[in-house]
Amino acid sequence: MYFLTGWPRRLMCPLKSEEKPFHIQPDSHRVFFAVLSQTQISIWYSRPSVLIVSYKESAKAASQFGSYQQAEWRPDSTMIAVATANGYILLFDVLAAGEDKYLYEPVYPKGSPRVKVTHGYKEEQCAPALSVELKKVMDLQAPITSLQSMQEDLVVATADGLLHLIHWDTVTNGRKDINVCTVPFSVDLQSSRAGPSLDFKDVHIRDMEYCVTLDGFAVVFDDGRVGFITPISSRFSAEQLRGVWAQDVIDGTCVAVNNKYRLMAFGCASGSVLVYTIDAATGSMQLSHKLELTAKHYPDTWNKTGAVKLIRWSPDCSVTMVTWECGGLSLWSVFGAHLICTLGEDFAYRSDGTKKDPIKISSMSWGAEGYHLWVISSDVSQPLESESENKATTQQSDILQFQFIKSALTANPCMSNQEQVLLQGEDRLYLTCGDTAQAQSTTTSSANSDHQASKERNTLPNTISISQGLSTLLGHRHWHVVQIHSTYLDSNWPIRFAAIDTLGQCVAVAGRFGFAHYSFLTRKWKLFGNITQEQNMVVTGGLVWWNDFIVIACYNLIDQQEELRLYLRSSNLDNAFANITKLYSETLLINVFRDMVILFRADCSICLYSIERKQDSTNPTASIELLQEVSMSRYIPHPALVVSVTLTSVRTETGITLKAPQQACAAESIMLNLAGQLIMMQRDRSGPQVREKETTANQKKLLPFCAPVVLAQCVENVWTTCRANKNKRHLLEALWLACGEAGMKVWLPLFPRDNRKPHSFLSRRIMLPFHINIYPLAVLFEDALVLGATNETVLYDGLPWAGVAGAGEPLEALFPFCTVERTSQIYLHHILRQLLVRNLGEQALLLAQSCAGLPYFPHVLELMVHVVLEEEATSREPIPDPLLPTVAKFITEFPLFLQTIVHCARKTEYALWNYLFAAVGNPKDLFEECLMAQDLETAASYLIILQNMEVPAVSRQHATLLFNTALEQGKWDLCRHMIRFLKAIGSGETETPPTTPTTQEPSSTGGFEFFRHRSISLSQSADSLTAWKFSLQKTLSMPSGPSAKRWSKESECAENMYIDMMLWRHARRLLEEVRLKDLGCFSAQLGFELIGWLCKERTRAARVDDFVMALKRLHEDFLWPFPVIPASSINSPFRNSRYRTAVGGRLLKSQSADSLINNEMDTSASNTPRSHSWLDSLNSASREMDTASSHGAHTQEAFLSPLLNKGDDCSIGSATDLTETSSMVDGDWTMVDENFSTLSLTQSELEHISMELANKGPHKSQVQLRYLLHIFTEAGCPEWCVIIGILMREASVISQVVSCLQSAEVPVDTVLNIKNGLMAVDVWASTDCLGYKPFLNLIRPQLQKLVEVTQEQVQPEAFQPTSTAKLVEPVCPWPEDSRGGPASLNTSVQSEEGSGASRLEEEIPGEEQEEQPLEEGTFDCTLS
């Protein structure tokens, strides 16, 4: 409505004076302001705000008349009456100095287009020079209490109980005196009691104000009683006056009347304002509403304000400003919605918390159009007297000017766009529309309230999609500010009307003369090219957009004719391009509905016009045709009382029961806001209906209207839309009302379900009230949102004396800087609740289902439960018919039921939980429902409820259930929280455990962290290794959850054992089901020490019974392709088993043990300290190789060069094996390309290489398999090492395992198991997967060794081959409690393990990284 902006301005008086001003009075147009001090009257101009003239009384006259007290202007601004302390009325003439004499004139540079203007231009821009002369003095011989101008008379109330009527022209006998004692007062005008009903012996009028629309005076008597005096005939005499009084008011202090709404606001000594209206039937005074500060919002000051001192209605009568004896300002809307108060928050407190003294006001007045509030304060501290005594005295008389911006609906309540907020200031516009490109595509599917978005998004993780169109209305809190063109503003200030088009791309404004419009697409203003046309047109009834036309109701000053004009937006602004229709009466209001224009005229009639667009020339034009006239003079006592007029498609019946359903979306009714009463007139369909096809175009006759019906009282604004959406009929066919302190109301249509016949007892519509926390300025119909604005304040503490109380505080320290913020609010939960209260659950369900797609719909359900719960659970009185069970039953109709309840409970006090769950069900049952629905996150929330409401055993039982389910589904974050939760229960904590830290101390023993530190060195140079390890420990995000400390001896309590048992059980299950990928993720995500556990399970769960099944499962798990043999190689030597064996044998013999170690082992083995006995026995060659191989490129060259120098057949096979490094597969083909010229390969050999490369799985799977190979190697699980080696077809892995199996400590059954497994794989490959045969033939010597080992277990040492003697000598035994596995197995992890494992953090993924594994392997067949 109205919003403060910026800091107040201080107007300095240039004249030397020691008298302080204490009273300000504007003229009727609020262009001139009379300012009184004790013996001086000054006249100020509004724009620019400057002093024009000052009249000072002589000392002799001042002693005779006494000091000045009040002033009143004549309606035509030619005279001022001043009341003095000794009972004199001084009448001053205000005279213009001359036609071309101005006190201030604008100066423009030469050649400026503004200089070449027409006659009358200067009067609008320049401050005129005036003179003030004392014309007449009248002695009333009693102290004067009040002055009031009434048409051509001045009414003066004196302390002796008389009312004096003085004619402004003061001709002889132009004065009448009426004694208030002789005016009969009663409770209402129908009362038959004669004589005064009050004791009037010593009573006089303290304050009074004339109300034009009520034709009478609202009065306050000196004893505190209040009343209303009106003449019962046209003559104003004692015999013709009657009075009514309000029986229950005894402490009245002041009064102000609102002419547009026929309201009388009486200030009281208690600090509240009572707003009365006159009952039309009886004439009695009825209390409409109260304006008072509440203890809830102003606990410190609500009862300490003192008596009400002044009340001032704004010029458009939409808000009122109140001030009290103890100071402060407060702003209310016409029906009591509280907007601003300076007695709280930043207005009342400094930034350090100290309290400021509220500003005390002696007089105040609104400026033109309500853009300024002129205030004379009685205590504003003066500027510091630092320069000279003289200067300080000249600046004493200062006036404060508070600046406001207001909603465009206050002056121009049109319907062209009701979904965007438009605020107008004196020189700029504020709009909510965002980027025009987005605004064009405004859709209505969803919304995101900006100041609630973050809250809602936290509670609704799965509904973050927002329609782009609505994000332009709600996406941010900033306004689109448009500066009004200075050329137009200089000659046409103040701006009176503003309107925005339907798409939010254009805005038009109208000031004193003419109008201008602005386009957001071009970012340019369009003004009249001919300034004469602009200055000869006054917009009277407002302006409105129809498509790309501006429709204006105006008065033509040259022809002295009322007109209705249409201007096309895209053409030049000129009357030559306008469509002009003459009208016969002044237009007061204008509105549009589809292709119709509705006018309300000063003769109380309503006219309907149709507009039709014609594209007959280059510029489209529009024609206007009068459709219908409706006289409303019987129902409207005064045309100024009509606040808004709207044409709508709303009817009391719904479209189903209409006789002519095709007209359901036509203009069905007229809505008239008559002084706050919403009146509806529907079309009369009781007569015979004429079918559409029987009428010709020129016979088209609209139906007449029925008699008006009052829909609602205290209405400030009305919103309705002409759009149609069959999915949201409830919201689009409803009528939305803003009703001040009563909040909002919606007139909702009720539809029978599934087109069934409606109940005869069920009304077609229902009026539902609901409260919102913001002042509504726009309604987003489909999105169930109200848009508004609110004042925000910013404290300014930048000055050295800003925090020091006392004299010298500047305005910037006394007042905060005010800004206007955009706000929005959901209202759907209020409507659903109101429908449920009225047993209209079916309608509530229909409405809710139509809105279920909104992103904040879950929040709506939460709010509904929360509000009802708070009210009922905290009620002191028993509730006979509680609503919460009904709401709970209603919410079960939606899939979000479980989340809604638990979110609401988590945000509510614990004390209310019992009441909540008594209505919605046992939390244990709801928890189990969540588990059945696989909604584990919601189940976890219920667990916190159970922890507080049940004994620990129940919590532990349910937590275990959830923990096991989360483990099974791989919800690792949840698993980590559950581990903390179970530990918290065990340690006796009653509150929720703290959240998991994001960083931990890296564990030196956990398998995952250990491997990460080993592998990181591969991508770094050896020099920077130490620094990298150091920074990793501090900055790398470790997997959250229990750190390795949990596995230490310190925490071996029962609770940890309980958790460990569950983890062990899950790991055993994964291993038994051959789910190695899940096992790796489980270990990495939860910090599970896989190596230590595998050591314990080496002979139990870690055994493999079925090698073939395990191999198949690994292929499936890691998306690893089964190997195939190329067709061309069937006749190649590789197809021959014997030849392949020979090649393999030659390869093994040609490579010494040193070269095997160097090429095949983990290159980063020595970079991380380990606690294993085999580390010390590694030979020096491997250590040197470790250090040298930290550079990836060099390592690859070392692999490739010996192979390229060999020319024999075995080079092909070994090249195939060795180019399977992760970096080569990753796409590093450069070295192959460079050396292709030196390779003499046949086509079949090339095909073989490409096939081998194509048989590899995704790179991600390779890294994961190498990680697992490392784990099983360290844990001493040779069966799994063999299976992974077969899968990756790496003979080196098999050879290392076989050489380790020749140790005496290896159990016989392990060796037998591996031998049998390999033979089973061989049998399976021969029948089902021939692609494995070449590899199995290659490792046949290893299998032969195993057969020998099993046959001669008595002397196991004799079967160790001499080529691996160096490796086998330092082997340590395999004790069950040892962390590590067989020693030499540690050497079998190939060098490519490191390069791949450096990316381990990404490659050993959580669930989100497992979603698209297929895409990882798209490089497979690149070479072939």
Q: Per residue in 20-32, pLDDT tens?
A: 899 999 999 999 9
Residue 1156 has pLDDT above 50, yes or no: no
Mean pLDDT for the chain? Answer: 76
Kindly report which listed range (15-19, 53-57, 318-322) carries the lowest average pLDDT score: 15-19
Place of tokens 């213009």: 96
Measure the CA–CA gap between 1239 and 1201, rounded to whole angstroms. Answer: 12
Residue 1402 has pLDDT above 60, yes or no: no
Torsion on CA atoms 1349, 1350, 1356, 1358, rounded to nearest 10? -40
Residue 450 has pLDDT above 80, yes or no: no
Kindly report which listed range (218-232, 1210-1224, 1236-1250) carries the lowest average pLDDT score: 1210-1224
pLDDT-derived band of residue 636, with 50, 70 and 90 as boundaries? very high
Q: Per residue in 1269-1323, pLDDT tens?
A: 999 888 888 889 999 998 888 888 888 888 888 777 788 888 888 888 988 999 9
Residue 1183 has pLDDT above 70, yes or no: no
Q: How far apart are the first and last CA of the chain?
A: 74
Residue 218 phi/psi, 5° resolution? Answer: -90, 130
Residue 762 has pLDDT above 80, yes or no: no
**Residue 575 has what DSSP assignment?**
G
| 1352 vs 329, residue with greater confidence | 329
Q: How many CA atoms lie within 13 A of 985 on its CB side?
A: 26
pLDDT-derived band of residue 532, with 50, 70 and 90 as boundaries? very high
* Percentage of residues of the chain with pLDDT beyond 70: 70
Q: What is the mean pLDDT of residues 682-688?
A: 77
Torsion on CA atoms 949, 952, 957, 962, rounded to nearest 10? 70
Q: How many CA atoms lie within 13 A of 1037 on its CB side?
A: 7
Q: Per residue in 1198-1212, pLDDT tens?
A: 333 333 333 333 333
What stretch of H or E contains 178?
A: strand 175-179
Q: Choose among 530, 528, 495: nearest CA to 510.
A: 495
Exposed (0-12), middle (13-18) or buried (19+): which is 527, by Cβ within 10 Å?
Answer: middle
Confidence (pLDDT) at 620: 85
Residue 1267 CB neighbour total at 10 angstroms: 26
Query: Which residues have a Cβ under 8 Å from the Cβ of 1246 and sit 6 or more positions away?
Result: none
Q: Are 1252 and 1076 in contact (CB under 8 A)?
A: no
Q: State how beta strands 497-500 and 480-483 pair.
A: unpaired
pTM: 0.76
Confidence (pLDDT) at 100: 65
461-475, 725-739, 1011-1025 — which one is most confidently predicted on average?
Answer: 725-739
Q: Choose among 1085, 867, 898: nearest CA to 977.
A: 1085
Confidence (pLDDT) at 175: 72
Kindly report which listed range (638-642, 694-698, 759-763, 1408-1412) carries the lowest average pLDDT score: 1408-1412
Q: Per residue in 269-327, pLDDT tens?
A: 999 999 999 998 888 899 999 999 888 788 877 778 899 999 999 999 999 999 999 99
**Residue 713 has what DSSP assignment?**
S
Q: In Å, what is the CA distance from 220 to each residue of 226, 255, 762, 1275?
A: 5, 7, 49, 98
Q: Are 899 and 938 in contact (CB under 8 A)?
A: yes
Secondary-structure breakdown of the chain: helix, strand, coil percentages, each rounded to the nearest 5: 35, 25, 40
Residue 1328 has pLDDT above 50, yes or no: yes
Kindly report which listed range (344-353, 767-776, 927-936, 1356-1365) carries the lowest average pLDDT score: 1356-1365
DSSP string, 458-491: HH-TT-----HHHHHHHS-S--EEEEPPHHHHHH
DSSP string, 1237-1283: GG----HHHHHHHHHHHHTS--HHHHHHHHHHHHHHHHHT-HHHHHH
Give the CA angle between residues 820, 826, 831 to the nearest 5°.
Answer: 135
| 827 vs 1180, residue with greater confidence | 827
Place of tokens 């609704």: 460
pLDDT-derived band of residue 1348, with 50, 70 and 90 as boundaries? confident
pLDDT-derived band of residue 1048, with 50, 70 and 90 as boundaries? very low
Q: Per residue in 946-990, pLDDT tens?
A: 989 988 889 889 999 999 999 988 899 999 999 888 888 776 544
Kindly report which listed range (154-168, 210-224, 434-448, 779-793) carries the lowest average pLDDT score: 434-448
Confidence (pLDDT) at 114: 57
| 289 vs 1100, residue with greater confidence | 289
Q: In Å, what is the CA distance from 679 to each residue of 639, 644, 674, 675?
A: 14, 11, 7, 10
Q: State how beta strands 785-794 and 817-826 pair.
A: antiparallel
Q: In Å, what is the CA distance from 421 to each residue of 1, 54, 432, 438?
A: 10, 43, 6, 17
Give the CA angle between residues 209, 210, 214 to the nearest 5°.
Answer: 130
Residue 695 has pLDDT above 60, yes or no: no
Single-letter residue type at 478: H
Q: Per residue in 1378-1388, pLDDT tens?
A: 333 333 343 33
Q: Per residue in 130-141, pLDDT tens?
A: 999 999 999 998
Q: Per residue in 865-878, pLDDT tens?
A: 999 999 999 988 88
Kindly report which listed range (578-587, 1148-1157, 1338-1347) carries the lowest average pLDDT score: 1148-1157
| 460 vs 832, residue with greater confidence | 832
Q: What is the mean pLDDT of residues 1100-1118?
A: 89
Q: What is the mean pLDDT of residues 481-486?
A: 94
Residue 502 CB neighbour total at 10 angstroms: 20
Measure the CA–CA gap between 380 and 382, rounded to whole angstroms. Answer: 6
Q: Per residue in 849-868, pLDDT tens?
A: 999 999 999 999 999 999 99
pLDDT-derived band of residue 687, with 50, 70 and 90 as boundaries? low
Confidence (pLDDT) at 1346: 82
Confidence (pLDDT) at 1276: 86
Q: Per residue in 140-157, pLDDT tens?
A: 989 999 999 988 889 999
DSSP string, 516-534: EEEETTTTEEE--SSHHHH
Confidence (pLDDT) at 691: 53
Query: Which residues have a Cβ under 8 Å from the Cβ of 1049 and sit 6 or more positions away?
Result: none
Residue 578 has pLDDT above 90, yes or no: yes
| 802 vs 1284, residue with greater confidence | 1284
Residue 801 has pLDDT above 70, yes or no: no
Confidence (pLDDT) at 1023: 34
Query: Which residues have a Cβ under 8 Å from the Cβ of 1205 and sit 6 or more positions away?
Result: none
Mark 1290-1311 as b/e (b = at least 16 C-beta within 10 Å): bbbbbbbbbbbbbbeebeeebb
Q: Are 909 and 870 in contact (CB under 8 A)?
A: no
* Percentage of residues of the chain with pLDDT beyond 90: 40
Q: Per residue in 173-202, pLDDT tens?
A: 567 788 888 888 888 877 645 445 555 567
Q: Are 565 and 514 in contact (CB under 8 A)?
A: no
What stretch of H or E contains 876?
A: none
Measure the CA–CA gap between 1176 and 895, rounded to whole angstroms. Answer: 63
Confidence (pLDDT) at 759: 58
| 212 vs 1188, residue with greater confidence | 212
676-685, 1048-1057, 1398-1407 — which one is most confidently predicted on average?
Answer: 676-685
